[in-house]
């Protein structure tokens, strides 16, 4: 039996309506990553996190909890959780995040910001107004709550005078670039992933990395957003020798991440299959999505080294500060 679908989706929908997030996080958890980077407040071009990287430590902690319930009949517990969650935000209780996990994911965002700074890209950050896009609610078919949320997010971006968004993960990129224009009337913002922004500048590596690795394409980047070549060009420019798994680019194989909320067991099965495919070409795996990273990392044997693409890129392209 999966976790109870109706109650779990109910919590998600309530959180989005009441707290404007799938997993409502503290201000520090949302914006703490930017401390010390001196990012200007707002502007016409902003880095847009959509809180995805910040949410993953909570998702990790929550997945651990939910995993315990996948095969039990815990329907009444979930129904109770949903009614409680309407009154108090349960996220901090359900998902106890270690400071180490939080710092680790924050560091990936700092990598990305430093890469953009080093490449001479002018950008600001919206801090409190950098809102979650509602990606999970959209995927789960919670359209009434999602559409209202998307319209709200857009109104905030317009009020802040934003014109261009630089996204840092595939889910936020897909939401803002492909889904929002379908549900938000008049949507006119330019949306590009930081990988596309960096690639377009043809950066020169300051340090060449002598490493062989394989790249796991995220389904959304590869199949929905056409982001296939930019990461490969950037990695090759950084000196990496890339080896391709059989299923790559547009034919990539999912990491299983999307099933984590409702079917954690199946999610882990898919992740193990993907890890095997990747390991058959190299034990060094590079991801470009916080959810792929988390899901594959959980499934990987110890001798597999999974790192986010921003780690390699900052070593090569942002070796010395801007």
Our finding on whether 141 is near other proteins (CB under 8 A) is yes
Nearer to other proteins, 25 or 219 (CB): 219
DSSP labels for 73-109? Answer: --HHHHHHHHHHHHHS--HHHH----HHHHHHHHHHH
> Could you tell me which stretch among 22-30, 43-51, 83-91, 141-149 binds other proteins (CB under 8 A)?
141-149
Q: Which of residues 120-139 bind other proteins (CB under 8 A)?
A: 138-139
What does residue 72 show for φ and ψ, rounded to 5 degrees? -115, 165
Our finding on whether 256 is near other proteins (CB under 8 A) is yes
Candidate residues 61, 219, 227, 240; the one interacting with other proteins per rule CB under 8 A? 219
Nearer to other proteins, 10 or 134 (CB): 10
Candidate residues 231, 258, 264, 290; the one interacting with other proteins per rule CB under 8 A? 258
Rounded CA-CA distance 15/21 in Å is 6
Our finding on whether 254 is near other proteins (CB under 8 A) is yes
Tally the C-alpha atoms within 13 A of residue 272's C-alpha that lie toward its C-beta: 7
Q: Which residues pair with 213 in a beta bridge?
A: 242
Nearer to other proteins, 6 or 236 (CB): 6
Q: Which two tokens stand for residue 301?
A: 């044997």
Our finding on whether 5 is near other proteins (CB under 8 A) is yes
Candidate residues 77, 253, 272, 297; the one interacting with other proteins per rule CB under 8 A? 253
Q: Which residue is associated with the tokens 């899901």?
A: 295
CB 316 within 8 A of CB 239: yes
Candidate residues 95, 109, 153, 270; the one interacting with other proteins per rule CB under 8 A? 270
Candidate residues 262, 297, 304, 307; the one interacting with other proteins per rule CB under 8 A? 262
Cβ neighbourhood burial of 6 (10 Å; 0-12, 13-18, 19+): exposed
Nearer to other proteins, 1 or 37 (CB): 1
Candidate residues 6, 37, 236, 319; the one interacting with other proteins per rule CB under 8 A? 6
Rounded CA-CA distance 11/4 in Å is 11
CB 126 within 8 A of CB 162: yes
Residues that bind other proteins (CB under 8 A): 2, 5-6, 9-10, 13, 138-145, 148, 219, 223-224, 250-251, 253-254, 256, 258-259, 262-263, 266, 270, 273
């Amino acid at each position: 039996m999966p976790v109870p679908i109706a109650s779990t989706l109910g919590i998600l929908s309530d959180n989005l309506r009441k707290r404007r997030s799938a997993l409502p996080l503290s201000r520090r958890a949302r914006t703490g990553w930017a401390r010390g980077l001196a990012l200007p407040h707002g502007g016409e071009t902003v880095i847009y996190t959509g809180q995805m990287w910040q949410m993953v430590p909570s998702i990790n902690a929550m997945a651990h909890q939910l995993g315990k319930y996948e095969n039990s009949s815990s329907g009444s517990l979930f129904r109770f959780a949903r009614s409680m969650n309407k009154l108090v935000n349960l996220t901090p209780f359900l998902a106890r995040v270690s400071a180490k996990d939080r710092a680790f994911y924050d560091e990936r965002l700092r990598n990305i910001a430093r890469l953009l700074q080093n490449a001479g890209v002018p950008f600001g950050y919206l801090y409190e107004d950098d809102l979650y896009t509602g990606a999970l609610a959209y995927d789960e078919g919670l359209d009434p709550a999602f559409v209202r949320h998307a319209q709200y997010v857009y109104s905030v971006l317009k009020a802040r005078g934003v014109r261009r968004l630089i996204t840092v993960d595939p889910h936020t990129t897909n939401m803002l670039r492909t889904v929002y224009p379908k549900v938000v009337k008049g949507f006119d913002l330019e949306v590009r992933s930081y990988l596309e922004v960096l690639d377009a500048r043809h950066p020169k590596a300051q340090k060449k990395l002598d490493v062989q690795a394989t790249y796991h394409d995220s389904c959304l980047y590869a199949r929905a957003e056409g982001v296939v070549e930019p990461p490969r060009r950037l990695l090759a420019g950084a000196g990496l020798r890339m080896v391709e798994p059989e299923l790559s680019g547009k034919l990539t194989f999912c990491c299983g991440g999307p099933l984590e909320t409702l079917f954690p067991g199946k999610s882990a099965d898919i992740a193990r299959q993907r890890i095997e495919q990747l390991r058959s070409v190299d034990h060094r795996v590079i991801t470009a999505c916080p959810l792929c990273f988390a899901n594959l990392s959980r499934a990987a044997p110890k001798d597999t080294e999974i790192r986010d693409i921003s780690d390699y890129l900052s070593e090569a392209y942002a070796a010395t500060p801007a």
